[in-house]
C-alpha cells in the first residue's frame, strides 16, 4: 500500500510538460527551474560575457575559464574559427562573474579546459593545447601543442574533458572516434593508437598511454580515484579494469573492462517537463544526449548529495541524479527519487552540457542555451529544413547550485603563491576542489620542501589527507615501502585499495607480498578486486 501511495504522490506532483519557444532572459529562465527541495539556482554569468559554453573550470586564484563552442554545429569554412576561451572574474565579490576577457580565440570546436602551470590545457581536436598569459593582460600569449592526432570527423565526437586524476595523470575522453596520438615535441615518436580507448598523459614525467574507456563527452572521478564516463545513450559507465592489467596478460579471458548497468542506455528513464521536437523524440523518455557526467564531491550541498552522480541531458532540458552503491568490483545505481529529475526546466533553450566544482563547494552547470543542439549529420535529409542551425549562438549561461539560505559567496582563493606547507595542509580539506587543486600545484612545483610534511600527513591525517599525501609523494617519486606497508592496513577501505596500487612496484618483496596475500581476504570487495588485479 505504501508503494502505491508513493506512486500516486509522484504522479500528482510531477509537472506536465509545456513548451517555451522563445528565448528567456537569465532572470526569466531562473524562475522556470524545478530543483530538489532545499536547493536553489544562482546565475554566475550570462551573455554577452559568456556564449555557448560547453566546459569551464576554476583555477587556483579563482579565475573562471569557460570554453565557448560558437562554431557548433556548422562552422563557416570561409571564416576564422569563432571558438574561444573566456576568462571571467568576480571583482566585487557578489558571486556574479561580471568581468570577462577573451583569453584565447581561433579555437575550432574546443571542448575542455583544465588549469595547469599558471595557464590552461585545452582539448581542441586534433590537439591538446597549453595556453598561458605571461604578460598579465589576461590574454594567452603562449600557445603550445602538447599532443596531436585526435579525430576530427564530427564535433560531437572529439577529445574532451581534460581531468587531473588522483594518480597525477591527466585524463581525457576519447570522443569515440579514436586517433593515433603523437607527442608534439617528438613527432618522430611512435604514435599511440587510442581506437576504442581513452587517453592519459603525465606532463611532469613525459609519459602517455591509451587507457580503458570509450568516453564521448564526459569524464569524472569519485573520491577514491575510480573513473566514470558516459555516451549519448549511456549516462553512467564505471571503468572497472584498467588497461595495464590486460596488457600484462594478453591471453587473459575476462569480461569487458567497463560495466554497463541493466538500467543504462535506452532502459534508463528521464522525466522532462519541457515539450519540444528533436530528432531524439523517437526515444522519448530515455537518454539520447547524455553528457557531462559528474560525481559531486563538494562540501556545500547537504551530505545526501555527496558522492551522487549527475548527468546532463540537454535534449530534455534536465540534469539527472543517481545514487551509487558499491557492488562487488563495480557499482549499482538508481535515481533517489523515481519519476522526477534533480533539475529540470520547461525552457526549451536550457541546454546543460557539463558540470564542474568550485572553491565554494557548489555544483556548477554550463548551459549552452540555444534552441537547437542536434547536428546535421544525424538528421534525415527531409527533416533538415526544420532547423535553423545558426540561430542565436550568442547566448549562454553558467549557473551555480547552492543550498537554500546560502547567501554569502565564499572568499576567492589565492593559491598560486601559497606556501608549500599550506598546500600540503589543504590535502586534508573536506572539499575535493581544494584537495585536488593543492595536489596539482604540489605536483607542478616539485618542491622537495614538501616531502617531510607529506610523509607526516600520509601517516596521520584524515583518510582523504592520507590518500592525497601518498599519491603526491608518488608524483614526487618519494614514496617509500614503509609508508606503503602502513597504508595497506589503513582502517579506510578506499585508502587500502589505493595502497594496493601504490604497492605494485614492491609486490615481489616479502613484507609487501605477505600483506597483499592477506588483503585477498579483505572485508571490502573493491580492495579484494584491486588485490587480484595487482
Write the pLDDT tens digit of every residue in 481-534: 999 999 999 999 999 999 999 999 999 999 999 999 999 999 999 999 999 999
Burial class (CB in 10 A: 0-12, 13-18, 19+), 531: buried
pLDDT, position 210: 97
Q: Which CATH class is domain 420-533?
A: mainly alpha
CB 154 within 8 A of CB 167: no
pLDDT, position 12: 40
Q: What is the mean pLDDT of residues 313-329?
A: 95
pLDDT, position 485: 98
Lowest mean pLDDT among 237-251, 278-292, 301-315: 278-292
pLDDT, position 9: 41
Write the pLDDT tens digit of every residue in 103-127: 999 999 999 999 999 999 999 999 9
Q: What is the mean pLDDT of residues 16-45?
A: 92
pLDDT confidence bin for 14, thresholds 50/70/90: low
pLDDT, position 74: 85
Domain residue spans of the chain: 32-403, 420-533
Q: With residue 64 as reference, give the H or E element that holds it.
A: strand 64-68
CB 351 within 8 A of CB 332: no
pLDDT at residue 377 is higher than 90:
no
Set of cell numbers at residue 387:
532547423
pLDDT confidence bin for 381, thresholds 50/70/90: low
pLDDT, position 241: 92
Q: What is the mean pLDDT of residues 214-227?
A: 97
CB 214 within 8 A of CB 176: yes
Q: What is the mean pLDDT of residues 299-318?
A: 97
pLDDT, position 11: 40
pLDDT, position 103: 99
Residues 296, 299, 301, 302, CA torsion sign: positive
pLDDT, position 283: 58
Write the pLDDT tens digit of every residue in 47-104: 999 999 999 999 999 999 999 999 999 888 999 999 999 999 999 999 999 999 999 9
CATH architecture of 32-403: 6 Propeller (2.120)
- Strands of the sheet containing 142-150, edge to edge, are 112-116, 119-124, 127-132, 142-150, 179-183, 192-193
SS3 218: coil
CB 308 within 8 A of CB 294: no
More confident residue, 284 or 425: 425
Lowest mean pLDDT among 330-344, 415-429, 464-478: 330-344
pLDDT, position 8: 41
Q: What is the mean pLDDT of residues 316-340?
A: 94
SS3 272: coil
CB 345 within 8 A of CB 338: no
Lowest mean pLDDT among 105-109, 214-218, 251-255: 251-255
pLDDT, position 256: 73
pLDDT, position 249: 78
Count of beta carbons in the 10 Å neighbourhood of residue 132? 16
Count of beta carbons in the 10 Å neighbourhood of residue 12? 7
pLDDT confidence bin for 410, thresholds 50/70/90: confident
CB 300 within 8 A of CB 362: yes
To 10 degrees, what angle do helices 493-502 and 525-533 make?
0
pLDDT, position 458: 98
Q: Which residues of 290-305 are buried (b: 16+ CB within 10 A; e: fewer)?
A: bbbbbbbbbebbeeeb
Cis amide bond preceding 262, omega within 30 = no
Cα–Cα distance measured from residue 504 to residue 491, given in angstroms and rounded to the nearest whole number: 20
Q: Which residues face 160 on adjacent strands?
A: 173
- If you average pLDDT over every residue of the chain, what do you get? 91
CB 261 within 8 A of CB 332: yes
Set of cell numbers at residue 502:
601504490
Cis amide bond preceding 48, omega within 30 = yes
pLDDT confidence bin for 2, thresholds 50/70/90: very low
Q: What is the mean pLDDT of residues 234-241?
A: 94
User: What's the full length of the chain, in residues?
Assistant: 534
pLDDT confidence bin for 1, thresholds 50/70/90: very low
Amino acid at each position: 500500500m505504501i508503494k502505491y501511495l508513493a506512486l500516486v504522490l509522484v504522479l500528482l506532483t510531477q509537472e506536465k510538460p509545456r513548451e517555451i519557444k522563445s528565448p528567456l532572459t537569465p532572470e526569466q529562465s531562473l524562475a522556470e527551474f524545478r530543483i530538489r527541495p532545499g536547493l536553489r539556482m544562482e546565475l554566475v554569468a550570462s551573455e554577452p560575457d559568456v556564449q555557448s559554453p560547453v566546459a569551464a573550470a576554476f583555477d587556483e586564484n579563482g579565475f573562471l575559464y569557460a570554453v565557448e563552442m560558437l562554431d557548433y554545429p556548422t562552422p563557416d569554412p570561409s571564416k576564422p574559427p569563432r571558438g574561444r576561451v573566456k576568462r571571467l572574474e568576480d571583482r566585487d565579490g557578489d558571486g556574479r562573474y561580471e568581468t570577462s576577457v577573451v583569453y584565447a580565440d581561433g579555437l575550432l570546436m574546443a571542448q575542455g579546459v583544465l588549469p595547469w602551470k599558471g595557464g590552461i590545457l585545452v582539448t581542441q581536436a586534433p590537439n591538446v593545447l597549453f595556453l598561458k598569459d605571461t604578460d598579465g593582460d589576461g590574454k594567452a600569449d603562449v600557445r603550445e601543442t602538447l599532443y596531436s592526432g585526435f579525430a576530427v570527423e564530427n564535433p560531437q565526437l572529439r577529445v574532451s574533458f581534460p581531468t587531473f586524476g588522483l594518480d597525477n595523470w591527466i585524463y581525457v575522453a576519447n570522443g569515440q572516434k579514436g586517433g593515433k596520438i603523437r607527442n608534439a615535441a617528438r613527432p618522430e615518436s611512435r604514435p599511440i593508437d587510442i581506437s576504442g580507448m581513452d587517453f592519459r598523459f603525465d606532463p611532469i614525467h613525459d609519459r602517455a598511454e591509451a587507457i580503458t574507456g570509450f568516453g564521448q563527452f564526459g569524464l569524472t572521478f569519485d573520491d577514491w580515484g575510480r573513473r566514470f564516463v558516459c555516451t549519448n545513450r549511456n549516462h553512467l559507465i564505471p571503468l572497472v579494469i584498467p588497461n595495464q592489467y590486460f596488457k600484462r596478460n594478453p591471453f587473459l579471458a575476462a569480461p569487458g573492462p567497463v560495466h554497463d548497468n541493466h538500467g543504462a542506455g535506452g532502459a534508463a528513464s528521464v522525466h522532462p517537463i519541457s515539450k519540444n521536437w528533436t530528432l531524439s523524440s523517437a526515444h522519448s523518455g530515455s537518454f539520447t544526449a547524455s553528457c557531462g557526467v559528474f560525481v559531486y564531491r563538494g562540501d556545500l550541498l547537504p551530505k545526501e548529495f555527496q558522492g551522487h552522480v549527475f548527468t546532463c541531458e540537454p535534449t530534455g532540458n534536465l540534469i539527472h541524479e543517481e545514487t551509487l552503491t558499491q557492488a562487488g568490483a563495480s557499482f549499482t545505481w538508481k535515481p533517489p527519487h523515481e519519476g522526477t529529475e534533480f533539475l529540470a526546466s520547461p525552457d526549451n533553450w536550457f541546454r546543460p552540457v557539463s558540470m564542474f566544482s568550485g572553491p565554494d563547494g557548489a555544483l556548477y552547470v554550463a548551459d549552452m542555451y540555444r534552441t537547437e543542439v542536434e547536428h546535421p549529420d544525424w538528421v534525415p535529409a527531409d527533416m533538415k529544413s526544420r532547423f535553423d542551425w545558426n540561430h542565436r549562438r550568442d547566448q549562454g549561461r553558467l549557473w551555480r547550485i547552492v543550498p537554500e539560505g546560502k547567501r554569502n559567496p565564499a572568499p576567492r582563493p589565492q593559491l598560486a603563491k601559497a606556501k608549500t606547507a599550506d598546500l600540503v595542509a589543504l590535502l586534508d580539506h573536506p572539499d575535493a576542489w581544494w584537495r585536488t587543486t593543492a595536489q596539482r600545484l604540489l605536483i607542478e612545483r616539485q618542491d622537495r620542501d614538501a616531502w617531510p610534511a607529506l610523509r607526516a600527513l600520509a601517516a596521520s591525517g584524515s583518510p582523504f589527507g592520507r590518500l592525497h599525501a601518498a599519491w603526491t609523494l608518488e608524483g614526487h617519486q618519494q614514496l617509500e615501502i614503509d609508508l606503503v606497508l602502513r597504508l595497506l592496513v589503513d582502517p579506510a577501505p578506499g585508502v587500502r585499495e589505493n595502497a594496493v596500487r601504490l604497492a605494485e612496484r614492491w609486490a615481489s618483496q616479502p613484507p609487501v607480498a605477505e600483506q597483499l596475500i592477506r588483503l585477498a581476504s579483505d572485508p571490502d570487495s573493491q580492495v579484494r578486486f584491486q588485490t587480484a588485479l595487482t
